[in-house]
C-alpha cells in the first residue's frame, strides 16, 4: 500500500519536474505563432485548488444544512394517526410529535395549522368536531412542551378529504390523522439544536 | 278540507278503532291512551296507522286540452300523477276503464274500478297564458270535492314543473286536509372527485337537478330559511369553515362574522327565519351561538362547555330546541332537548342497558311532534334513521333498514324524510315515508351529503306571479 502511494507521489513529482525541465531547455528558433507553454504556476495552482476545496466544503456544509432543513421540514409535516373515534395521542404519534417539538423550539418563527381528519364511518357533521378535537389534542401536546399556543391554528375537514379513497381498515387507519401545514416561517425552519 | 276518507261509510271508523287498538298494543298501554292519540292528531288520527293497503284509491282521468293546451295536458298530468304517487297518501290506479269518453265524468265507470277519488284536469291555452283547471271528485258520493285554476308558465321555463307540483299539492290538501310535498326542493352538497364540494338543488321528484354554488372549496350543511328564499350553509372558501347565507333569488351572499376562533359548523335558522344558530368547535371550549341575520348583529352564546354541542334544531314555535352533544364524555354524541331560553337539557335518544349509543343530526318535525335523527346500530359506521315520537312518550321508530342511512331532513308534511343512503351499488339521496315505510330514490350515483328539505314553495310561486 505504502509503496504504491509513494510510487504515485514520485510519479506525479516526476511529471511536474519533466514539465519544468522542458520549459528551461533552449529552444530552436520557431515560428512566432508557437508561443512557449507557460506551464502550471505552482502557487496559483495551489490557490485554485484551495479555493475549490473551500468552495466544495462550503457547498457540502450548505447541502448538509439544506438537507437537515429539508429533513426538519419533512418531520414537521409528517402526519400523525389516531385510533377509531379517538382523539388521544398514540405512542407512535408521540414519537413523531416529540421530534416536531425540538424543531419548533429551534424555529421560533414557524407557525403551523393543524388540520384534523377522520375516517368515513362516523356521521359527517360530528366527524368535523372529531377532526377538530384531534387537532386540539396535538396543540395541547405542543403547549405542554412549552410551545406557545398561538403558534398553532386548528381546523377540521372531518371525513371530507380522505388520504386513501377506499373503505377498508387500512384506508380508515390512514384517514384518521392530523396534517401539519406550515403557515409562516417556512424559510426559517432550523434543525433541532444538539 | 276533509278527513282522509276511505271507501264505504263504515270503513273510516273500523280503521280508526283498529288503528287505536294496534297503537295501544304497541305502546303497552290502555285504550285511554289511544284516545289521547286521537285528540292529539285532530283529523289526522289515521296518520300513523294506515298503510298502502288502507289508503284511499285515487284515479286520474286523462287530462284534456283546449285552445292549444292539448300539447301540454299530458305533460302536466304525468307530473301530477307521479306527485300523487309520491305523496304516499293514495293508491293511484294505473288502469283506465275500457269504455272511457274523454270529456265527461262517468262516476259509475270509476265506481266499478273501485276508485274513491277521481282527478280530472283540463289545460286551456298555450304558451305563456295557459291555465290548468283541476277538479277532485268523490266517486262514492258522486260530487266535486274541490276545484281550482292554476296558471301555467311557458312549458320551457324552469317554473313549469313547479306550477304543476303546486296543483298536485292542492289535490292532496283537498283530499286529506294536509299539505303535500310536491312543490318543494331539496338542497344538499355533492363531493366531486377532486375533493371539492358544492351545494346542489333538486325538485322533490328528482327533476331539475342543478348546481347552486361553485367555490372550488367545500360547501356543505345547508338549511333552508322558513320563507324558502334563502339558505345558510358552511364553506371552507377562506381556508376555515365559516357560515354563509345565500339569497336564492338574487345570488347575494353574506358571511356570518367570526369574532371567535374555531370551526363554525351545522348552521340552522330559527323558526322566525331572522337568526342563524350554529356550533363553534375548537380551543377546548365549544358551544352553540346565534347571530341575527336580519339585523346583522347580536352575536350571542346559547351553550358552552368542554364538549361539542352541534346540529341545533327548533320546535316549530321556537320554544324548545334539540341538538347533539357528547357531554356524557363517552366519545360519542347523543340527542338532547332543552328550552330555547335556557334550562336543563334532557336526553332524548335511547340510553338502553347502560349504553348511551351514538346518535346525531337531529331535525325537529315541522308538525312539532317528532324529532328525526340517525343512530348507530349493530356496528361501527352502520347508521339508520330513527324518529322519537314526542307525543308517544318518546317512543322510537326506526324507518330505514337497508344499507347505511344518515342525516334526515323533514318534508313540510312532517311524514316524509330525505336522507343520505349508502347501498351496495352506490350512494345517493333517498326519501322515506315514515307512515308507510315506502322508500324511493331521489338522486343516485353521487356522493351526496347532509340534505335540507325546503318548506312548501307554493306561496312563493303565487307571490312571484
**Rounded Cα–Cα distance for residues B232 and B244 (Å):** 6
Closest-CA distance, A167 to chain B, in angstroms, reads 11
Calculate the alpha carbon distances from B215 to A194, B234, B267 in Å: 46, 12, 18
Asked if B333 lies within 8 A of A126 by C-beta distance, the reply is yes
Percent of chain B with pLDDT over 70: 88
Residue A158: the pLDDT is 97
Q: What CA–CA distance (Å, rounded) separates B366 from B184?
A: 14
Which of B191, B265, B326 is opposite residue A125, by nearest beta carbon?
B265
Q: Domain coordinates of chain B in residue numbers? A: 1-50, 56-176
Burial of B360 (0-12, 13-18, 19+ CB in 10 A): buried
- In angstroms, rounded to a whole number, what is the distance separating the alpha carbons of residues B213 and B229? 15
Which DSSP helix (H) or strand (E) runs through B220? Answer: strand B219-224
Give ∠ CA B389-B324-B282 in degrees, rounded to 5. Answer: 170
CB contact under 8 A, B281 and A128: yes
Q: What confidence score (pLDDT) does residue B351 get?
A: 86
What b/e sequence results for B286-313 when a residue is b if at least 16 CB atoms lie within 10 Å of its CB, and e otherwise?
bbbbbbebeeeeeeeebbeeebbbbbbb
Does domain B56-176 bear CATH number 2.60.40.10? no
The whole-number pLDDT of residue B133 equals: 95
Size of interface A-B (CB pairs under 8 A): 85
CB contact under 8 A, A129 and B279: yes
Q: Answer with the residue of higher pLDDT: A13 or B250.
A: B250
- Output the pLDDT for position B2: 44
Distance of CA A175 to the CA centre of its chain: 26
- Across residues A113-130, what is the average pLDDT? 95
Report, as an integer, the average pLDDT of B114-125.
Answer: 94
Order of all β-strands in the sheet with B185-191? B210-211, B197-203, B185-191, B447-453
Any chain B CB within 8 A of the CB of A163?
no
Residue B32 has pLDDT above 70, yes or no: no
Other C-beta atoms lying within 10 Å of the C-beta of residue A2? 6
Instruction: Judge contact between B13 and B21, C-beta under 8 A.
Output: no
Contacts of B332 in chain A (CB under 8 A): 85
List chain A residues with CB under 8 Å of B308. Answer: 126, 129, 133
- Please tell me the predicted confidence (pLDDT) of residue A32: 58
- Cβ–Cβ below 8 Å for B383 and A85: no
How many other CB atoms are there within 10 angstroms of residue A56's CB atom? 10
pLDDT digits (tens, 9 = 90+) for A154-181: 999 999 999 999 989 999 999 999 999 9
Q: Does this complex have an ipTM over 0.90?
A: no
Work out the mean pLDDT of chain A and round it to a whole number: 86
- pLDDT at residue B51, as a whole number: 47
Convert the pLDDT of each residue in B55-78 to its tens digit. Answer: 899 999 999 988 777 789 999 999
**B455 by DSSP, 3-state: which?**
coil
pLDDT at B157 (0 to 100): 86
Give B412-432 pLDDT, tens digit per residue: 999 999 999 999 988 999 999
Residues of B in contact with A144 (CB under 8 A): none
* Lowest mean pLDDT, pick from A14-18, A39-43, B40-44, B198-202: B40-44
Q: In the prediction, which pLDDT does B209 show?
A: 96
Over residues B357-411, the pLDDT tens digits come to: 999 999 999 999 999 999 998 777 789 999 999 998 888 999 999 999 999 999 9
Residues facing B147 on adjacent strands = B135
Residue B18, pLDDT > 70, answer: no
Which domains does chain A possess?
A: 65-188 (3.30.1330.60)
Residue count of chain A, please give it: 194
pLDDT digits (tens, 9 = 90+) for B256-307: 999 999 999 999 999 999 999 999 999 778 999 999 999 999 999 999 999 9
pLDDT for B98 equals 77
A138 touches A132 (CB < 8 A): no
Compute the mean pLDDT over every residue in chain B, rounded to the nearest whole number. Answer: 87
Instruction: Tell which residue, A159, A175, A119, A173, has the closest CA to residue B450.
Output: A159
pLDDT at B24 over 60: no
**Cα–Cα distance measured from residue B377 to residue B388, given in angstroms and rounded to the nearest whole number:** 16
Q: Are B448 and B189 in contact (CB under 8 A)?
A: yes
Provide the shortest C-alpha distance from residue B342 to chain A (in Å): 23
Residue B200 CA to residue B449 CA, distance in Å, equals 10
Q: Chain B residue closest to A84 (CA)?
A: B380
Amino acid at each position: 500500500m505504502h509503496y504504491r502511494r509513494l510510487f504515485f507521489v514520485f510519479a506525479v513529482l516526476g511529471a511536474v519536474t519533466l514539465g519544468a525541465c522542458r520549459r528551461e531547455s533552449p529552444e530552436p528558433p520557431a515560428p512566432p505563432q508557437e508561443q512557449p507553454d507557460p506551464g502550471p504556476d505552482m502557487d496559483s495552482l495551489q490557490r485554485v485548488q484551495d479555493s475549490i476545496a473551500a468552495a466544495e466544503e462550503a457547498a457540502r456544509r450548505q447541502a448538509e444544512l439544506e438537507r437537515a432543513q429539508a429533513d426538519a421540514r419533512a418531520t414537521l409535516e409528517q402526519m400523525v394517526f389516531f385510533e377509531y373515534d379517538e382523539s388521544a395521542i398514540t405512542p407512535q404519534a408521540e414519537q413523531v410529535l416529540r421530534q416536531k417539538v425540538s424543531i419548533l423550539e429551534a424555529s421560533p418563527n414557524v407557525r403551523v395549522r393543524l388540520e384534523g381528519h377522520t375516517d368515513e364511518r362516523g356521521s359527517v357533521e360530528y366527524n368535523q368536531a372529531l377532526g377538530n378535537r384531534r387537532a386540539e389534542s396535538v396543540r395541547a401536546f405542543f403547549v405542554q412542551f412549552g410551545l406557545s399556543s398561538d403558534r398553532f391554528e386548528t381546523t377540521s375537514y372531518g371525513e371530507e378529504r380522505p388520504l386513501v379513497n377506499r373503505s377498508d381498515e387500512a384506508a380508515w387507519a390512514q384517514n384518521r390523522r392530523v396534517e401539519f401545514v406550515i403557515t409562516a416561517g417556512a424559510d426559517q425552519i432550523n434543525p433541532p439544536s444538539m | 278540507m276533509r278527513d282522509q276518507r276511505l271507501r264505504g261509510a263504515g270503513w273510516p271508523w273500523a280503521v280508526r278503532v283498529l288503528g287505536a287498538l294496534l297503537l295501544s298494543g304497541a305502546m303497552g298501554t290502555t285504550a285511554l291512551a289511544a284516545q289521547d292519540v286521537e285528540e292529539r292528531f285532530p283529523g289526522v288520527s289515521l296518520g300513523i296507522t294506515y298503510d298502502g293497503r288502507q289508503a284511499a284509491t285515487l284515479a286520474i282521468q286523462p287530462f284534456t286540452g283546449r285552445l292549444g293546451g292539448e300539447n301540454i295536458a299530458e305533460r302536466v298530468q304525468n307530473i301530477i300523477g307521479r306527485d300523487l304517487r309520491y305523496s304516499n297518501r293514495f293508491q293511484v290506479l294505473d288502469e283506465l276503464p275500457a269504455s272511457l269518453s274523454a270529456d265527461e265524468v262517468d262516476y259509475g265507470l270509476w265506481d266499478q274500478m273501485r276508485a274513491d277519488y277521481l282527478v280530472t284536469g283540463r289545460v286551456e291555452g298555450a304558451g305563456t297564458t295557459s291555465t290548468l283547471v283541476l277538479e277532485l271528485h268523490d266517486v262514492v258520493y258522486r260530487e266535486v270535492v274541490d276545484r281550482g285554476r292554476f296558471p301555467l308558465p311557458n312549458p320551457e321555463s324552469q317554473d313549469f314543473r313547479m306550477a304543476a307540483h303546486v296543483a298536485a299539492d292542492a289535490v292532496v290538501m283537498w283530499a286529506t286536509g294536509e299539505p303535500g310535498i310536491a312543490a318543494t326542493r331539496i338542497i344538499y352538497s355533492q363531493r366531486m372527485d377532486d375533493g371539492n364540494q358544492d351545494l346542489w338543488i333538486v325538485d322533490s321528484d328528482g327533476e331539475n337537478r342543478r348546481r347552486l354554488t361553485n367555490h372550488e372549496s367545500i360547501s356543505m350543511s345547508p338549511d333552508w330559511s322558513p320563507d324558502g328564499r334563502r339558505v345558510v350553509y358552511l364553506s371552507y372558501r377562506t381556508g376555515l369553515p365559516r357560515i354563509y347565507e345565500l339569497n336564492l333569488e338574487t345570488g347575494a351572499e353574506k358571511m356570518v362574522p367570526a369574532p371567535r376562533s374555531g370551526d363554525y359548523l351545522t348552521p340552522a335558522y330559527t323558526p322566525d327565519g331572522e337568526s342563524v344558530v350554529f356550533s363553534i368547535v375548537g380551543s377546548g371550549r365549544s358551544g352553540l351561538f346565534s347571530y341575527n341575520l336580519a339585523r346583522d348583529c347580536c352575536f350571542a352564546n346559547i351553550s358552552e362547555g368542554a364538549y361539542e354541542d352541534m346540529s341545533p334544531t327548533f320546535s316549530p314555535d321556537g320554544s324548545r330546541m334539540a341538538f347533539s352533544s357528547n357531554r356524557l364524555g363517552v366519545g360519542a354524541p347523543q340527542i338532547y332537548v332543552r328550552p330555547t331560553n335556557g334550562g336543563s337539557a334532557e336526553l332524548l335518544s335511547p340510553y338502553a342497558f347502560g349504553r348511551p349509543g351514538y346518535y346525531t343530526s337531529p331535525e325537529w318535525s315541522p308538525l312539532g311532534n317528532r324529532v328525526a335523527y340517525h343512530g348507530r346500530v349493530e356496528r361501527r359506521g352502520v347508521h339508520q334513521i330513527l324518529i322519537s315520537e314526542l307525543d308517544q312518550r318518546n317512543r322510537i321508530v326506526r324507518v330505514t333498514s337497508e344499507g347505511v342511512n344518515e342525516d334526515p331532513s323533514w318534508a313540510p308534511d312532517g311524514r316524509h324524510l330525505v336522507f343520505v343512503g349508502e347501498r351496495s351499488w352506490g350512494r345517493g339521496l333517498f326519501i322515506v315515508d315514515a307512515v308507510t315505510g315506502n322508500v324511493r330514490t331521489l338522486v343516485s350515483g353521487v356522493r351526496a351529503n347532509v340534505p335540507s328539505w325546503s318548506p312548501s314553495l307554493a306561496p312563493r310561486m303565487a307571490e312571484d306571479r
